[in-house]
Every structure is written in C-alpha cells, then in structure tokens.
Amino acid sequence: NWTTHNVVEEQVALIREQVGTKRAICGLSGGVDSAVAAALVQKAIGSQLTCVYVDHGLMRKGETEQVEKDFVAATGVQLKVVDAQERFLTALAGVSDPETKRKIIGREFIRVFEQAQLEILQEDGPEVAFLVQGTLYPDVVESGGGTGTANIKSHHNVGGLPDDIEFELVEPLRKLFKDEVRMVGQELGLPEEIVQRQPFPGPGLGIRIVGEVTKDRLDLLREADAIAREELTAAGLDREIWQCPVVLLADVRSVGVQGDGRTYGHPIVLRPVSSEDAMTADWTRMPYDVLAKISTRITNEVSDVNRVVLDVTSKPPGTIEWE
C-alpha cells in the first residue's frame, strides 16, 4: 500500500544499494524537487552525499537562507555554497534581451556548478560516482523513460583529473508526481516554506526585471515580491494561486505623486495565475482588498516604485513569466 513512509523506506534501501560506499553530489536549486531528492539521499547515505548550492543572487528574499540554514538544520546535509553573485551580475551587465539573459544565466550556472563538482572530486574520500537529480514521473514520461548518466568535462584548468568524468544518476523521485513529492518532503521533516513552494523559474528574478539586471533593481524587486508573497499568504491565497510572478518594469517610468511631491518611478506588475500544469493558465480573479493591500504596501515601502499594475492576460497568449 502507498504511504509516504513506505516510499521513503523503499527509496532509502534502493539508494543504499545503488551508491554502496561511493560518494554522490546533488545540486540544490531552492525548489521542492531537488530538496526532497537530496533529503532522501541524505537519509540513505549521510555524509557520502555533498550538496552544492550556487548562490546566483537571483533568488527571492529569504530563499537562500532557507537552503543554507533551514534545509541544512532539517536534514544535517553537508552543503557547499558557492557565492557567485558578483559573477552573475558581471555576466549580465548591459544585457536586456530575455533570451540572452537566459543563456547567460544557464551558462554561468553550469560553469560554477561544474567547478564545485571538480573541487568535491578532488577532496579525499571514496570515489564520487553519482549525481542526484530530482526527476519526477512526468519528466520521465516526457523524455521517453530512459535512465541516464551525466558527463562533466574538465575544461576548467583544474589539474590531475581525467578529461571526462561520467556520473551515474540517482533519481529517487522518478515514480512520483509533484503532490506526492511534497508529501514525502513533509514526511522527511523539511521546512514548510520549501515543501509548499510554488514554481519558480531557474533564471530567477533575472527574467522578472524587464531591462538590465542590476543589484539595486534586484533588491527593489525582492522587496516588492516579499510584500506580495506575505499578503497572499496572510489572505490564505498562496495555495490557491498557482504562482504569482512579481515583475519590475525597469525601463519604464511614470509620473506619480507621493509624500511632498511629484515622483518619476517604476511600475511593478502583479501576475497571479491559476493553472493545472503551467501549459495554459488564466489570470486569477483575486479579491480586490488583497490587491489593494499589496499595492498600498509596495508603493509605501519600496522606494522608486510609484505604481502597481495587474496583468489580466491568460496563457495563451501571454506566457506566465514576462521574459
């Protein structure tokens, strides 16, 4: 019979059998899937697992701390955090085109992650032969069902390593759907903020700033996003709404009147959507009083923002994210 307890027991046994006495690496993104996969593997093999978290500086307020502190406290996992904020900002400087931003973020992420992998490979200890991935059942079906391996190439000028290292994949969530993954995460005692997290794109806030990504703009958007999330949660809407991107129109300014005078600030867009699978979506008919509260707080508390607008476009034609 299917219980989360049985799933955990079964996967722990399978992981132990697969990994044996070797070591494994797992990349944490802050999302549910990688967190639950890592927690399962940690339960199975303990210190034979090292997790890697690339801090690209594009996360929302508090999310990096959730991984660094709360996730580590809940699991006891061995975590290597790479602070790559400067590197990502430098790579993104002067770039406004959405696809270019996505490519740069993806490329930098792989470089930083592989460098961290190579450093772990060079540590003393048993062979590092496994890479943990949070692949879910729908991903397995979509990609044709094969299990795989992953290569990393040592093109980073790190001496003493073979040219091409092959990892075997450990994918403990391959039979599970998203809601089941959340239940397993709960069973494993992971923090609620991680287990119940809504979808968030890999490129993070980098694709929620329309215009160039800078440190100041990221900080501003983080504040606005945190207010929106806080009020959605307070109103009990966080589980009802599929997700609510908060977008900064950094290249747009409009006139406002705040405090003693005229301002010339940026608009913030709220994009609450209802969806089953993100393939299609509709804009959420949210209570006006919650929208009002979010709008008032953002314009009062976030400097340089003097207008909050609501996106009332379904998908299609609009995508969920603005970039």
- Report whether 134 belongs to an annotated binding site: no
- Report whether 274 belongs to an annotated binding site: no
Question: Are 167 and 52 spatial neighbours (Cβ–Cβ below 8 Å)?
Answer: no
Give the span between the Cα atoms of 147 and 140, in whole angstroms: 8
Total residues at the site for ligand XMP (CB under 6 A)? 10
Nearer to ligand XMP, 125 or 199 (CB): 199
Query: What contacts 222, CB < 8 A, 6 or more positions away?
Result: 60, 61, 205
Q: Which of 22, 80, 297, 315 binds ligand XMP (CB under 6 A)?
A: 315
Output the smallest distance, CB 280 to ligand XMP, in A: 9
Q: Is 212 left (phi over 0), alpha (psi -120 to 50) or beta?
A: beta
Query: What contacts 213, CB < 8 A, 6 or more positions away?
Result: 58, 89, 92, 95, 101, 205, 206
- SS3 call for 42: helix
Nearer to ligand XMP, 139 or 180 (CB): 139
In this chain, which stretch among 42-50, 67-75, 113-121, 196-204 interacts with ligand XMP, using CB under 6 A?
A: 196-204
Query: What contacts 227, CB < 8 A, 6 or more positions away?
Result: 294, 297, 298, 301, 302
199 binds ligand XMP (CB under 6 A): yes
In this chain, which stretch among 88-96, 164-172, 227-235, 312-320 interacts with ligand XMP, using CB under 6 A?
A: 312-320
Interaction mask 228-267, ligand XMP, x per CB under 6 A: ---------------x------------------------
202 binds ligand XMP (CB under 6 A): yes
98 binds ligand XMP (CB under 6 A): no
Length of the chain: 323
Output the smallest distance, CB 134 to ligand XMP, in A: 11
Give the span between the Cα atoms of 288 and 293, in whole angstroms: 9
Q: What is the CB neighbour count within 10 angstroms for residue 10?
A: 12
Q: Which of 49, 54, 190, 320 binds ligand XMP (CB under 6 A)?
A: 320
Binding residues (CB under 6 A) for ligand XMP: these are 199, 201-203, 243, 278, 315, 319-321
